[in-house]
Every structure is written in structure tokens, then in C-alpha cells.
Amino acid sequence: MSPSELRTETLRRFTTWRLKPNEHLPLIESLADLQPKSSSQVAARAIAAGYLAAFCFGAPVEDVRQDLERFALWRHLSEEEQTLLTNADASDQSKAFHSWLIEAIQFMAWSLGLVTSDHFAPCSETLASQFPDAGADPSHFITNARLRPINELLQEADTLYMLHWFAVEANLEGLPDERVVLPRVSFRRHAADWIVGVAGAWDDVSLDT
């Protein structure tokens, strides 16, 4: 599907949701200008992010780092995330911010065909069960992972792009829609843009609004 076809579907969704879109936003990049991630990259990233999220929710940093290094997952964390796990004085504020990674993981789980998609609902209570248990070798899971078709991924990337803009503008105007939670759509957009290849590294994904 072309970027204009993707946008037509996104606008149709906004109409169904009774949300007012910003119709002046540029289209997302065409597939020829993107470098989508592989299934194994997404699976490994999701598992690595899960370990970081576990740390943010109270898991001992020593155990988290040990498993990340033992299963060669450390390199699938961003530089900022690696710093968080090596800084003994990581603030509660930083942990709280990175705990929203569960929403990025939710999107990655959807991209791998493990869960359904609902951008108005929080991450699934059974999300962790879709991935290997902490301390278990994830190599088989990573090797056998398969992404959804690229057009489906691009469609969600465009939808989340516009939902993110909607949430930011609504908050600025003091008229937020309780269905569209800003951190949720922001972290899911981050994951979507990274997967479709807007940028190579996680930290290089721009979330301009």
C-alpha cells in the first residue's frame, strides 16, 4: 500500500473512533525509503525490553543484567537503557518513564502475531506469558519469530503517528480524550517506527509532534 492509501485507512479509523485528526500531517515514508527490522531483531528487542521493564518494576538489577548478558540480549538495549542498568543511582523518575516500555512491548508482541491490537486499551495482563520466562533461553523463540505482513505494520505506524499527534494536541488544548493515553501511544509509535525502519537504532527514532 502507498502512503496515501495508508492515510486514507487511518482517517477512516479516526472517523469510526469519532476523533478529529490533524489532516495536515505529512504522509509516512514509502517502503522504498525504509529499512524494516527482521523478525529476529524484533523478537530479541522485545525480550530485552521486557527485562528492562522488569527492573523498572522491581526486579534485582544483578539478575536482569546477568540474563541479558548470558543470552546475548544486552546489545538489543538502547544506549540510554544500558546506562539505566549500569547506574546504581537510577532515579525513580527514570524507572517510571521506562516502565512504559511495556506498551512498546505490547506493540512488538502484536507485530509478531502474539496478541490483538487495541490502542485504547492498556497492555495485556498476559503479555509476559507470550515470551520466554525470565532466565529461560530465548534463542528458539527468536529464531522462530515471524512478523506480520509489512503493509499491516505500516498501517499501524501511520495510525499511531496520527494518534500521537492527536494526544499531544488534545493535551495542549486542555481537552484530552481519556481513550488516547499519551505515553501509551507514544511508546507504541516508537516501537512501530523502529520496526518499519524509520531509523536504524532505537534511540534514533524521532517522535516529533
Q: Tell me the domain boundaries of the chain.
A: 3-26+148-204, 39-144
Q: For every residue of 79-144, which 3-state class applies, written as one string?
A: HHHHHHHHCCCCCHHHHHHHCCHHHHHHHHHHHCCCCCCCCCCCCCCCHHHHCCCCCCCCHHHHHH
pLDDT, position 208:
80
pLDDT, position 37:
98
pLDDT, position 57:
93
pLDDT, position 85:
93
Cα distance between residue 164 and residue 184, in whole Å = 9
pLDDT, position 91:
84
3-state DSSP helix/strand/coil % of the chain, to nearest 5 = 60, 0, 40
31-68 as b/e: b if 16+ CB within 10 A:
beebebbebbbbbbbbbbbbbbbbbbeeeeeeebbebb
pLDDT, position 168:
95
The pLDDT profile of the chain, 209 residues, written as one tens digit per residue, is 899 999 999 999 999 999 999 989 999 999 999 999 999 999 999 999 999 999 999 999 999 999 999 999 999 999 999 999 998 677 888 999 999 999 999 999 999 999 999 999 999 999 999 999 999 999 999 999 999 999 999 999 999 999 999 999 999 988 889 999 999 999 999 999 999 999 989 999 988 86
pLDDT, position 89:
75
99, burial (CB in 10 Å: exposed 0-12, middle 13-18, buried 19+): middle
pLDDT, position 176:
87
- What phi, psi does 59 have (nearest 5°)? -65, 140
